[in-house]
A and B are shown apart, each in its own frame.
Chain A
Amino acid sequence: MSGLQNYKVDYQQILPDLPGQSLAWLQQIRSDAFSAFSDTGFPSLREEEWRYTNISAIEKKLFSPSTNVGSNEIDQAWLDDFCLKDAYTLVIINGRFSKAHSSLKGLPETVTILSMGDALQQKPELVEKYLSKAVANEEHSFVAFNSAWFSDGLFVHLPAQQVLDKPVQLIHLVTKADCLAVSRNILIVEDRAQAEVIETFVGDSNAYLTASVTEIFVENNADLTLYKMQNEGDKAYHFGGTYVKQAKHSRFKHHNFAFGSLLARNDVHTDLDVASECNLNGLYIGVKRQHIDNHTRIKHIQPHAISKEMYKGILNQRAKGVFQGLVFVAENAQKTDSAMNNRNLLLSNDAEADAKPQLEIYADDVKCAHGVTVGQLDEKSIFYLKSRAIDEETARNMLTFAFANEMVGKVDNKELHTMLLAQLLQRFSQKSVDEKWL
C-alpha cells in the first residue's frame, strides 16, 4: 500500500472521533478537504512554493491520531519552562484539549476562549462564520489535510473595543511516538479590540507530526500581536500555517521563533486592507540536520497599507534554512510602503541557506524594497574582539548572539522575552554576562 493510501484508510477509521460530527456544514468542509487532499497527496518539490522542502518522509511514514491511547502523563516541571505564569493558558496534548492542564481563571465574560472542540459545541454559528474563511483548501494540500483531519485547537473571540488584560497562550504538546497532532485555531479580534496571543509548540524526542493551521481576523483598527515559539522535539515534523485577514487600519505583529523539529515548514500569509499595517519578524536557528522553511506572503490589496518584514536565520552543521517571501501589490494598492528583509548566517561548511524574496507589483505609486544577505560572521569584527583579549569561541558566540538577539529584542512581552533570552544564552553562551547589558 502506498503511503498516501495508508493516510486515506486511517482517516476513515478516525473520522467518527473528530469533533463536530453533528454539524452538516463542517462535515461538508471535511469531505471537500479530504477529496482535495486525496487528489494530490502532500505537496511535492515540483510545486514552486515547496521547491526547497522535501516532505516525502511524511508521506512514506504513517502518522496517526490513533496512536493517542493510554495516559497523558506529562512532566510538569519540564512544561513549566515553556509556560507563562501570567496568561490565559489552553493546553492541547497529542492533538486533544486537556482541561486539567489549562487555566482560564479570571477571563472576562465578554471574551470567548475555548478549545475548538468546545467551540463547535457551544458556539457553532460563530465558528462557521470564520472557519476556512482566511485560507482555502486550494492554498496547498497541507491546508486541506488540516481541514479534514483537525481534532482540536484554540478558539478566541474578542468583542469590539475589548482590550485583553493578559496574553493568551496555547501550548501544543506531543508526547507519543508516530503521533499525528492536527489542530485548527481561529482568532477573531473585533473592531478596536486588542490582544496578545502566544502559540507554543513543544514535544518529546519521538518522531511525530504537528500540522497546525491558525486563521486570524483582525477587524477595523484592532491590534493583534502573535508570537509563535516552535520548540518541537528533534525528530519531529512540523507544519504551521498562519493566515490573516486584516481589516482597515488594523495592526498585526507576528514574531516567529523556529528553533525545534527535524523538518519545519511555516507559512504566514496576510491580506491588507486600507491603511492596515503588518510586522512580520522571524528568527530560525538550525543545527545538525534540521530543515527550517519559512514562507511569507503579504498581499497589499488596498491603498496606504504598510508592511515591514525581517527574517533572520542562523544555520550550523548540516542545517538548511529556507526563506521564501512574497510581497504582492494589487493594482488598487497605491501608496503601499513595504520592506522585506532576510539575513542569513552560515556557520559551517555543510549548512545551506536558500532565499527567494519576491515582489509582484501591479500598482504604480508604491515604495517597495527587499534585501537578502547570506554570509558568515564578519572576520574583522572577530579580529577586533580578539585584539581585546577575547578568545575566538567567545567572540563568535558574542557576534552570533547579537545577530539573533535583535529579533528577541523586538519581543514586548516581558515573560516571553526572558524565556527567549534564556534559550539564546543557552545556545550561544555568554560568559559572565549581565542580563541588563543585553
Chain B
Amino acid sequence: MSSSTKEIENLINQDYKQGFVTELEVETFPPGLDEEVIAKLSKIKNEPSFMLEYRLKAFRHWQTMKEPDWAQLNIEAIDYQSISYYSAPKKKGDGPQSLDEVDPELLETYKKLGIPLDEQERLAGVAVDAVFDSVSVATTFKGKLKDAGVIFCPISEALQEYPELVKKYLGTVVTETDNFFASLNAAVFTDGSFVYIPKGVRCPMELSTYFRINAANTGQFERTLIIADAGSHVSYLEGCTAPMRDENQLHAAVVELVIMDDAEIKYSTVQNWYPGDENGVGGIYNFVTKRAECRGHNAKVSWTQVETGSAITWKYPSCVLLGDNSTGEFYSVALTNNYQQADTGTKMIHIGKNTSSTIISKGISAGKAQNTYRGLVKVGKGAENARNFTQCDSLLVGDKCGAHTFPYIEVKQPSAQVEHEATTSKISEDQLFFCQQRGLSAEDAVSMIVNGFCKEVFKELPMEFAVEAQALLGISLEGSVG
C-alpha cells in the first residue's frame, strides 16, 4: 500500500469517543432465557395480560426458528442463554419519574454524550426519550407535546396509560413471527419509544430517542412504535452509543411505523454503537427490523440513516406502500472500517397504485471492512404506475476492504418504471494530489470528497443530526449542508 492510501485510511480512523462506562447501582436479571424470565419481565413492568400472551407466543415461535445465514456476514455464534435480558438503573420509587428525580450520574452520562436532559440545556426544539440499557430513564418536553395532542413516551409507560392504542398497532407491521430477531425482540423487548400523532397534527418539535447500552453481558431489545394518523406529520430521530467492551453485545430492535392518509413520518438514525477495536474485538451486533406501512392514500415515509458504528449491522428499513399514491424513501450512508461488517439496505414493496420510492445508498469501506447493500424493489400486480429509482454507490478506501451490491428487482406490473444504478469507485491518489496541488491539505481533500459522496443523504437529515453525522465521518461542515 502506498503511503498516501495509508494516509486516507488514517483520516477515516477516529477514536470511539462514547466508549466510557457509567457506574451505577443496577438491577439485572441473571443470564438466561425461558418462559419464566419472560413472565418475570412482564411482571416487573406491570404489563397488561395481553402482553404476556403476546410475548410467550413470540418466544414459542422463536424457539422453532433458526438464525438467518443468508447475509454476507461472519458472525460468532451467539449464546442466547448467556445474555441477561433485563438491566436497569435502580429506581428510587415506582412509576415514571420526573426529571429531577433521575440519578445525577445518568444525567451526567447523557450530558457527556451531548444529549443534555435538564431543563436549561435541552436541545432546543427537540424532545428526547433517553433509553438506558433496558429502560427509558427520562423523556423531555412531554407536557408541551401533550398540549399539541402528541403522545411521546416510553412504550412501557404507553402500555400503562394507553394499552388499547398499543394493542391496536403493536406487531401489526412486524409480526411476532416475522424473522428470528424480530421474534426474539417480541418476546423480550424491555422498552423503547411510543409516538402517536393524532389526526391533522403537525408535531411541533423533533422527537428523538437516544439509546445507550451501558451494562456488560446484556442485550438491548427495544421496541419503537410510531403512528401518524391521517394528515399528521412527525420527524423522529434516534441515536445510539455503547461503552467499549471486549465481548460482543446484541442489540435486536424492532421499529414499526404506521402512516395513514396524507400523513408523513420522517425517521432518521445516526447509529454509532461501539464498533469493536481495530483488531475486530468486541462491538455491538446490531440486528434490527424496521418497517413502515403506508396504510393510507398519499402517505409518505422517509428513512434516513447514517451508520458508522456496530461490529455487525444487519438491517433493512422497509416501506410497504399499501395506500395509493404513497411514497417511500430510503437514504443511507454506511461507513465500515477495520473489521466492521454491514449488510444493509431496504425493501420497497409497491402494492397500491401510483406508489413511488427512492433509494439512495452510499457505502464507504475502509480497513478490512465489508460493506454490503442488499435491497428489494417489488412491484405487485395491482401497483399501476409504480415508480422506483435506486442509486447505490460504493466508495473504497484502501485495498483490504470489500463493497458488495445485491439488489433484487421483481416487477409484476407493466406500467411500472424501475431504475437501478450502481457504481463502485475509490478515492484515488490522483484526486488527492490534485486537491493538494490547489493548496488543500490531504485531510481537507478527503473530507471534501467523502462529503461530496454523501451529500445527497446528509441533506435529508435534520440539521442537528447532520452536524453529528458529519462529525462522525470526520468531515468538515463547510459547503455540505443545504
Contacts and interface: CB of A to CB of B under 8 A. Distances in A.
B71 to A, nearest CB: 11
A359 B424 contact: yes
B416 interface: yes
A362 interface: yes
A356 interface: yes
Interface in A9-39: none
A356 B409 contact: yes
Nearest to A321: B411
A352 B410 contact: yes
Contact of B407 (A347, A356, A367): A356
A355 B399 CA distance: 30
Interface string A335-356: 0000000001011111111111
A358 interface: yes
Chain A CB within 10 A, most for which of B414, B420, B421? B414
B142 interface: no
Q: Which 10 A-B pairs have the closest CB atoms?
A: A346-B414, A372-B420, A364-B396, A359-B405, A355-B409, A374-B418, A375-B417, A374-B411, A368-B424, A364-B399
B428 interface: yes
Contacts of A349: 381, 413-414
B421 A331 contact: no
Interface string B402-441: 1111111111111111111111111010000000000000
Nearest to A349: B414
A45 B104 CA distance: 57
Given A357-B420, A358-B404, A372-B419, A365 B426 contact: yes
Interface in A261-302: none
A344 B407 CA distance: 15
Contact of B397 (A357, A364, A366): A364
Contacts, number: 117
Given A363-B399, A364-B398, A364-B399, A358 B417 contact: no
Given A364-B397, A376-B415, 4 more contacts: A355-B420, A357-B407, A361-B396, A364-B398
Contact of B404 (A344, A347, A361, A367): A361
A48 B70 contact: yes
A359 B361 CA distance: 14
A174 to B, nearest CB: 32
8 contacts: A350-B381, A353-B411, A355-B407, A355-B408, A357-B405, A368-B422, A369-B423, A373-B419
A365 B423 contact: no
Interface in B334-360: none
Interface of B: 70, 379, 381, 394, 396-426, 428
B381 A374 contact: no
Contacts of A372: 407, 409, 418-420
Chain B CB within 10 A, most for which of A353, A356, A367? A353
Given A359-B403, A359-B405, A361-B404, A371 B411 contact: no
B414 A358 contact: no
A308 interface: no
B234 to A, nearest CB: 33
Interface of A: 48, 52, 331, 334, 344, 346-376
Contacts of B416: 346, 374-376
A362 to B, nearest CB: 5
Contacts of A366: 396, 424-426
Contacts of B410: 52, 352-355
Contacts of B424: 359, 361, 366-369
A367 B425 CA distance: 6
Given A347-B414, A371-B420, A362 B402 contact: yes
A344 B415 contact: no
Contacts of A356: 406-409
B381 A365 contact: no
Contact of A358 (B396, B398, B405): B405
B404 A359 contact: yes
A132 B381 CA distance: 43
A339 to B, nearest CB: 10
B376 to A, nearest CB: 9
B422 A373 contact: no
B406 A358 contact: yes
Contact of B411 (A346, A358, A359, A367): A346
Given A364-B399, A365-B428, A366-B426, A358 B418 contact: no
Chain A CB within 10 A, most for which of B400, B403, B419? B403
Contacts of A353: 409-411
Contacts of A375: 416-418
Given A360-B404, A373-B418, A375-B418, A354 B411 contact: yes
Nearest to A371: B421
Nearest to B374: A358
Contact of B403 (A48, A350, A361, A367): A361
Contact of B414 (A348, A355, A367): A348
A103 B10 CA distance: 66
A147 B292 CA distance: 48
A376 B414 contact: yes
A334 B429 CA distance: 14
Contacts of A355: 407-410, 420
A61 to B, nearest CB: 27
A370 to B, nearest CB: 5
B404 A346 contact: no
A363 B394 CA distance: 12
A355 B379 CA distance: 12
Contacts of A344: 411
Contacts of B413: 346, 349
Chain A CB within 10 A, most for which of B381, B398, B409, B425? B409
Contacts of A52: 410
Contacts of B396: 361, 363-364, 366
A369 B422 contact: yes
Nearest to A332: B399
Contacts of B401: 362, 364
Nearest to B404: A360
Nearest to A346: B414
A300 to B, nearest CB: 12
A364 B370 CA distance: 12
Contacts of A365: 399, 426, 428
Contacts of A360: 402, 404-405
A359 B414 contact: no
A334 B428 CA distance: 13
